[in-house]
Amino acid sequence: MALRVLAHLEPGAKVREIVAAEAHWLDVRFCAEDDDATFYRELPHAEVLWHVLRPVSATDLAAGQRLRLVQKLGSGVNTIAVADATDRGIAVANMPGANAASVAEGAVLLMLAALRRLPALDRATRAGRGWPTDPSLGETVRDIGGCTVGLVGYGNVAKQVAAIVAAMGATVLHTSTGDDRHPGWRPLPTLLAASDIVSLHVPLTDATHHLLDREALALLRPEAVLVNTARGPIIDEGALIEALRSGRLAAAGLDVFATEPVGADNPLLALENVVLTPHVTWYTADTMRRYLATAIDNCRRLADGRALAHVVNGVGGSGSPPTGDYPTK
């Protein structure tokens, strides 16, 4: 009998093609993340849940009476009730590093767009207001190569960002739980005060919730740019809005938010000095191929009775919980 999988995502043609090649042993049912009717109809029959972003609650796990594995398509498991899964004997696995290249490029994209005022210049050009050139560009816009880039966290994504911006000529600093003896390590307060661009690359945990609060944001230079491709609640969003409105912070590039999807009433949407994307820096064809290869491999391991890869809760796998290579307040 085929292993039954509920994939909580809307697939494109290439995703369906990859999955169809495994149809002789893998029965994958797709469900859009906002389609609760289909989700709850399929969940009781699924042995594996392929999870993206829509939170998996304790109630969901209870409804998944046959669940043996919740496979995160990505690295962050903060959207899964991991403790409840453990109590039920359900393995939770992730994919460390699978989206690192895509997120790293997305972070640099947001750096450049915020630093170079891309959205405002695009709007002005389309409206016929791009000429004469705004003289303030020559006073405020920077090259990444002339900046100090501070990376908060130093895992897979951050190291790839470091390689990219260093190749562009930037000075790179980073911070983590303690002095890791790598060049450029700084304590978090020192890094914030010294950086022209600060980019966040830490998991969301109790220790990192509001890691950049009002006090931490006040350490940033007024001309600094803050980029977040990690998780929204790592920043105190209210304090960030105040800093951007007041000019205490020059700009921000954000792919993640305190509440997702972002509501139309979120003040960030009205700020000219913010570049926004809807939690998609990970979402490329290259990452999806890596995700599917890893997810299918873990399903094969499950079907064969072998140890699962990258298990974060110690149930039936060879992985271990995240070590937490990030700073604390």
Q: What are phi and psi of 212, to 5 degrees?
A: -100, 85
Options 279, 290, 301, 310, the catalytic residue: 279
In angstroms, the CA 102 to CA 290 distance is 11
**Cβ atoms within 10 Å, residue 214:** 13
Options 51, 201, 231, 310, the catalytic residue: 231
Burial class (CB in 10 A: 0-12, 13-18, 19+), 210: middle
Q: What are phi and psi of 71, to 5 degrees?
A: -100, 110
Residue 4 vs residues 69, 82, 180, 311: alpha-carbon distances, Å: 11, 21, 44, 19
In angstroms, the CA 223 to CA 167 distance is 23
β-strands 48-51, 69-72 pairing: parallel
Active-site residue 260, yes or no? yes
Please tell me whether residue 6 adopts helix, strand or coil conformation.
strand
Options 29, 260, 289, 300, the catalytic residue: 260
Q: Tokens standing for 28?
A: 């994958």
Positions annotated as catalytic residues are 231, 260, 279
